[in-house]
Amino acid sequence: MREAVSPQATLCSLICGLVLVDAQVPEAATLLEHREEGEVRLAEVRRYVLRARNARLGLFVQIGHHDWASQISHCLEEVLSATDEPTGVHLNFVNGTAPSDDEVEELLGYVQGKHSKANIFVTNSAGAAADMPQFLMQLDSATRGGVDYDIVLKLRVSPRDDVQQLASQALCGTRFHVRSVLNAFADRPSLDLIAPAGTIVDRKTSSKHLAPAVFNKVLGNRSWAGPSAGSAKGVRSLLLMNTGNVGLNEAEDLATYVAGGSFWLRRQAEPLKTAVAAIPRLAPLIQRRDEEARSLELALECFVTTALRLRGRGLATMPSAPKVIAMYYPQFHQVPELEKFFGDGYTDWKALEDFKGQGLRKPLSEERGGLGFYDLMKRQVRSRQANLAKQHGVHGFSYYHYWFGGEGGHNKSVMWKVPYQVLHDGQPNLPYFFTWANEPWTRKFSGQAGEDVLIPQTYGDREAWEEHFEHLVQYFKDHRYMKIDNKPIFAILRPQLLEGKLEPMLKVWRSMALQKGFSGLYILSSVGRRFYEEHNYKADLLDGAFHNAPSCRDLCGGVASNRDLFLVKEPHQYWGAATGFDGRVHGNSGALHVTPKDFQHALVGSFANMTAMPQRHVPENLFFVGSWNHWAEQHALEPDETYVFGYLQALRNALEHVKPLELEARHSGSTTQATA
């Protein structure tokens, strides 16, 4: 359950009270002159392990919420897996959320188990001091302790909300995405800050540059009215320390903050050094917890971003990490229906071997490190698939699910053995969900009406829907079965074929899902060639639609999606990419030839478009690649004799080089944001 966040409270804690600096020579700093004596009260150190003084990346988390473990574990795991270089984890518990000694030990064990060169610091901070000063204090004490980093991630953990969810998906959603961030900092020396797409706010940011969560929940559908009067002195003092008088008259235009307060930052960024250096003097003041202290806290929240812009340094944004879902064809083993229709021992391998034309990809042999013409009943084959997938950035599989109401097969459930094995022997050990290939089974595997139908679809009635659901629910209960907000994801390739039965069937299913303890079902349709001509259902019956790229092709942007399709009315729209298409093996027409190079190029473009469209809203950025192993149609990520591991490597390269989008460098008065 997500707690609703009062927009007012969030607004206050996120918007710095920067008072506009007038063009005259500013007066001497005032707040900074409260140089009260006395040591900074650094946080109480609970435990630490120090293994590397100069480490590449450090994760700094302020934990002000009791449900912290579930919120940071994913990010922690991905950051620690992103690199072998020394990495630091600094967890500071504030607001009385101190963990027990056992929890601390468990954390230490976890981090050490994940990374052999990890620093870890667990601290408690007394009081409820706000987020940014706590972060600066952590950095200050790390620096005094002789630990330094090149790049740091500041992550705020407060009660879960959409802005925070966006932050953890965009900043540490996958290890590949974390590598993209590190690659960007390495490639662009002028870049100092990376925030989630649609969270960098200034007075002139329009809604189309904001993530919906920021616009709706933080700003309450308004644009930021600009800084309030309270904390002018602090910011002005800090700016003076940082830039001298340079550009102070532009500060009004450039006043900027990151909604949600989570971002990656270059440790050597000048304003960050200034802020950290100021902390020992500011700490006693911040701890007073009066109005003035509050103003200073808020001022610190936007000082760094504003000063970076004054200095003309790069600020950029990243989209939510693409989570690649590869479509998986559970054939390639002995299936009674295949043998009945196509002869003993038939699988698509035979069709591939018998094909006389030119230019087909065939699976890479085992001798060359591939999977060969495999048999999916072998657990070892499925386990190798899982390893290849994980290493190259495939988050999960979507298994085609075959369920027929009509007569003609041995069973309503066809090709059920692969998912059954997934459940019972655990391989592939990867998140998954089903895509119901709900077309009639035709001789050319095309699902075209009017063709030689081998098993028709009838879609049945309530009793049949219940039976189908009972079959599915054993999978839904699997911890690997993917869910969104506790709703199992289930895609239907062509929901339009169910016609009038779609609505009552989904109603029955959704209520059965509730009875089984889920919060409902998350139903997707696919956008393919026939999507528009056949679209005959109310789009809001479904939760989303995904671009089924091998079938969607030109409609969706070619090899990879590059935009939301205007005509898709389902609430969420997921993008995708194709590794190719060739209908010839099954006697069909149509071809889309895609080399690994083309594939990578298209992915890079697609991810760049995501970054440029922060207003696009999806709860998780699932990205559908067609396919993992659809060899007969020639769309497969699996290694082949021609390109070897080319497609998998292309995928990983693209995922590790998602390019952050830089805000256009601003000069006084200029307000446009870069869009490409």
Binding residues for ligand NAG, rule: CB under 6 A, are: 7, 13, 62, 64, 94-95, 128, 130-131, 158, 216, 220-221, 410-411, 413, 416, 471, 562, 605, 608-609, 612, 675-676
Nearer to ligand NAG, 7 or 284 (CB): 7
Helix axis angle for 291-310 and 232-243, nearest 10°, is 40
Q: Yes or no: say if 544 and 485 are a contact pair by the CB < 8 Å rule.
A: no
Nearer to ligand NAG, 100 or 221 (CB): 221
Q: Yes or no: say if 295 and 234 are a contact pair by the CB < 8 Å rule.
A: yes
Residue 65 beta carbon to ligand NAG: minimum distance, rounded to whole angstroms:
6
Nearer to ligand NAG, 13 or 168 (CB): 13
Nearer to ligand NAG, 388 or 661 (CB): 661
SS3 for 543-554, per residue?
CEEEECHHHHHH
**Which DSSP letter does residue 290 get?**
S
Nearer to ligand NAG, 440 or 605 (CB): 605
Q: Which two tokens stand for residue 385?
A: 């698939």
Nearer to ligand NAG, 174 or 562 (CB): 562
Nearer to ligand NAG, 609 or 629 (CB): 609
Residue 7 beta carbon to ligand NAG: minimum distance, rounded to whole angstroms:
5
Distance CA 315, CA 414 (A): 52
What angle (nearest 5°) sits at the alpha carbon of residue 342, between those of residues 338 and 348?
Answer: 65
| Closest residue to ligand NAG, based on beta-carbon distance | 64
The CA–CA distances, whole Å, from 181 to 121, 166, 316 equal 23, 16, 10
Residue 158 beta carbon to ligand NAG: minimum distance, rounded to whole angstroms:
4
Nearer to ligand NAG, 399 or 537 (CB): 399
Residue 488 beta carbon to ligand NAG: minimum distance, rounded to whole angstroms:
17
Residue 612 beta carbon to ligand NAG: minimum distance, rounded to whole angstroms:
4
Distance CA 17, CA 601 (A): 44
Distance CA 174, CA 275 (A): 30
Residue 129 beta carbon to ligand NAG: minimum distance, rounded to whole angstroms:
8
Nearer to ligand NAG, 310 or 414 (CB): 414
Q: Which two tokens stand for residue 251?
A: 């500060």
Sign of CA dihedral 665, 190, 182, 600: positive
Produce one character per residue of 583-617: b if its CB has 16 or more CB atoms within 10 Å, e if not.
Answer: bbbbebeeebebbbebbbbbbbbbbbbbbbbbbbb
The CA–CA distances, whole Å, from 48 to 33, 60, 422 equal 34, 14, 41
Taking alpha carbons only, the member of 161, 177, 159, 166 closest to residue 68 is: 159
User: What amino acid occupies position 591?
Assistant: A
Residue 407 beta carbon to ligand NAG: minimum distance, rounded to whole angstroms:
14
Residue 61 beta carbon to ligand NAG: minimum distance, rounded to whole angstroms:
9
List residues bridging with 455 in a β-sheet. 441
Residue 442 beta carbon to ligand NAG: minimum distance, rounded to whole angstroms:
22
Distance CA 300, CA 287 (A): 14
Nearer to ligand NAG, 81 or 216 (CB): 216
Residue 639 beta carbon to ligand NAG: minimum distance, rounded to whole angstroms:
28
Nearer to ligand NAG, 375 or 503 (CB): 375
Residue 588 beta carbon to ligand NAG: minimum distance, rounded to whole angstroms:
28
559: three-class secondary structure by DSSP: coil
Sign of CA dihedral 29, 31, 37, 43: negative
